Structure 1
């Protein structure tokens, strides 16, 4: 075998490996889990959610709701805003009620949050059917600023940033999960709309100080459409960015 042919073959292998790495790194969808430390059926979903995070190809966000707090344990990460987001999704999906653990997939459908197989199947189904993440979104820290880049596409959408705590370990002292020590990941502490996308490529720059509030160590950028009533709807682009090593 000639040296030129060998170099050519090695280059081909390198290109194939690079393409495979890019395909594996492709984000295939967004899963938003609505959960509670006071919900007896939620720990299996919280465990499944950890596996989603570790997959590396899903933007996974956990929203702790506050309506289970009456059971005697106030969820340490719950908020009325998280509950309001879940009810907003219910209106978008034409539902009259909410439940935990509920997983919202790409803002388009809902599933039992503990059913990891069904969640991945739905993500794949949406991806194949053109209801996945069709618009590229990238986020990176540039010195003291957070830079968000969004590609071209069709329609209009809000640029939404969800700030989360990377990981926490909680010992539940009261309620249905009394005595259990539960690990939580990507628990959302705040959500804000930072811009509007109109189908054209755009860049946004935010001060890095936003990450310093509430000891935030991660964020997700969602390109999310809205219903006619202004409620969150289909997510057409997303990315996630973690900072630091997390904490227990």
Structure 2
């Protein structure tokens, strides 16, 4: 679950497309209004309602929903099967960028701009309804290759383009901790974040991704997220798209 830049082979800027028919079950989500990042834990008693709400958001065509499982609840008796220190670090980085040292679960971050309690449905809905993303991210499949085009937009500042892979659905029987005895269903569980490259406002950016290598055997899909940084901390998300196989 590292966040290192992709190997050259995955960047694939000069790789030719392979003519293989696209899978009928695939779907591409373009022009979303919001990227919702849920910071959650299998050991958090208050998280199941937020996990369920993320599942509902994932079904919307105008939301890219991502679940980051943190590991700081593991000490209470159950080690989150998807938890990762880098995800907790990402949540802390958001807090620091907002001038806070406090983190909590469940927390939903909308477009990198606002954090809300993930179990408060009305607050989450209000944040999503008021959200917008100014930058389109176009995705087109050609055989086993996926072309990602992020056009220029001179009124915006430069940003980093991230590839975020995820499990579409996973069911976990929790044996200990505050949720002991529950069988939980999780959706859009983030497995990895890697840098695709930089997006420059005056020139745009284009990437070609070899789908079999990006998805591997287990991932159900991925999101491409264009996000600004401020002093090395996560800033506003400008655009996104998602691909589900």
Which TM-score tier does this pair reach, normalised by the shorter chain? 0.7 to 0.9
Residue 41 of structure 1 contacts residue 101 of structure 1 at CA under 8 Å; is this kept in 2?
yes
More RCO (CA 8 Å, sep 6+): 2
Question: TM-score, normalising length from structure 2?
Answer: 0.83
Residue 136 of structure 1 contacts residue 238 of structure 1 at CA under 8 Å; is this kept in 2?
yes
TM-align CA RMSD = 1.4
Aligned counterparts of 1:103 and 1:239: Cα–Cα separation in 2: 18
Deviations 1:217-245 (A, max 9, x none): 110111100012x11110010111111xx
Deviating runs (4+, > 3 A) in structure 1?
Answer: none
Partner of residue 103, structure 1: 108
**Pick from 36, 39, 43: which aligns with 2:44?**
39
Aligned residue pairs, count: 213
Partner of residue 83, structure 1: 88
Higher share of residues assigned helix: 1
| 1:72 has 2:72 as partner | no
**Pick from 207, 210, 227: which aligns with 2:210?**
207
Offset, 1:30 = 0.8
Residue 31 of structure 2 contacts residue 241 of structure 2 at CA under 8 Å; is this kept in 1?
no
Q: Which residues of structure 1 form unaligned runs of 5+?
A: 1-24, 127-131, 244-248
Residue 69 of structure 2 contacts residue 84 of structure 2 at CA under 8 Å; is this kept in 1?
yes
Aligned counterparts of 1:162 and 1:69: Cα–Cα separation in 2: 24
Q: Which residues of structure 2 form unaligned runs of 5+?
A: 1-29
Offset, 1:133 = 0.7
**Pick from 61, 68, 83: which aligns with 1:56?**
61
Partner of residue 138, structure 1: 138
Deviations 1:144-191 (A, max 9, x none): 223211122121000011100000111101110000011100000000
